[in-house]
Amino acid sequence: MRESYKLDENLPRVVLAILRESGFDVMSVVEEKLGGADDDQILEICGQEGRVLITQDLDFSDVNLLQRSKLPGIIILRLKNQSRESVMTVVCRLVPFLINHPPTGKILIVNENRIRIREKDN
């Protein structure tokens, strides 16, 4: 069973389409009318819903967030070029990785060239 995901408001809508077309259960902060919500509220909602957060916000890069919340995982897109096209390219490359490597209990930091994995301490 694949994880469920929530897209932060700082990602283009096309990411939602790419993930849904790839068979992922994904919702966005924007379509749920949570735009402008603070980080703690987003973390709480993702934890309640069991959704991995996908964001470009580096405030979520602290692995301790996984310990302090019910959040299943975090994916941070840390791109030098944050254009719509660059984000699309990286997300399209990320999809096969997510199918084979569930991000549960991890923070994935994704850039144009690699995916760094930080695991929650047990």
| Domains of the chain, CATH where assigned | 4-119 (3.40.50)
Summarised one tens digit per residue, pLDDT across range 70-91 is: 889 999 999 999 899 999 999 9
| CB-based contact 74:58 (threshold 8 Å) | no
For residue range 16-72, list pLDDT tens digits in order: 999 999 999 999 998 888 777 888 888 889 999 999 999 998 888 877 777 777 889
In terms of DSSP H, where are the helices of 2-110?
Answer: 13-21, 39-49, 64-68, 84-100
Quick check: pTM over 0.85?
yes
Tell which residue, 109, 1, 100, has the closest CA to residue 55. 109
| CA 14/CA 89 separation, integer angstroms | 11
- pLDDT, one tens digit per residue, over 99-113 is 999 898 899 999 999
Q: So what's the pLDDT on residue 11? A: 93
